[in-house]
């Protein structure tokens, strides 16, 4: 819970600063001043379920599996985000995106293999 709190606090701080930078559109405070009940409900939903709950579940899961599985899951997060963006958002993957995906997968495979070499008994994935 404490790590999740630090993650959420850090995310809020970083994104509040980034949103307040000149040239990024209207200030977050002027936008929030125009929020009605529906916008506040949406913001609370996204904050609690899509951020806080996701951070909490991720940290809970990380503590209950092996380091090699954690690296596989966390290391491939950008690929899962790209897959969702392509399938649901209609985004297109360019040459640099494909190269990045290949590098992420290659790094993940390399990490898993080196973990298996260090522990051939299979306990690395227990």
pLDDT at 63: 83
pLDDT of residue 126: 47
Task: For residue range 52-62, list pLDDT tens digits in order.
Answer: 788 888 888 88
pLDDT grade for 121, boundaries at 50, 70 and 90: low
For 36, 60, 61, 119, the CA distances from 26, given in Å and listed in that order, are: 17, 37, 38, 54
Average pLDDT of the chain is 80
- pTM higher than 0.85, yes or no? no
The domain limits of the chain are 1-64, 66-126
Q: Is the pLDDT of residue 27 over 80?
A: no
């Amino acid at each position: 819970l404490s790590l999740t709190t630090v993650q959420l606090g850090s995310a809020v701080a970083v994104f509040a600063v980034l949103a307040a930078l000149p040239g990024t559109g209207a200030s977050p405070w002027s936008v929030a001043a125009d929020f009605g009940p529906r916008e506040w409900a949406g913001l609370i939903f996204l904050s609690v379920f899509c951020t806080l709950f996701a951070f909490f579940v991720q940290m809970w899961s990380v503590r209950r599996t092996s380091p090699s599985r954690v690296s596989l899951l966390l290391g491939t997060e950008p690929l899962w985000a790209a897959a969702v963006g392509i399938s649901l958002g209609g985004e297109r993957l360019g040459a640099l995106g494909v190269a990045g995906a290949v590098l992420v997968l290659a790094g993940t495979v390399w990490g898993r293999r080196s973990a298996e070499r260090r522990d051939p008994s299979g306990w690395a994935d227990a």
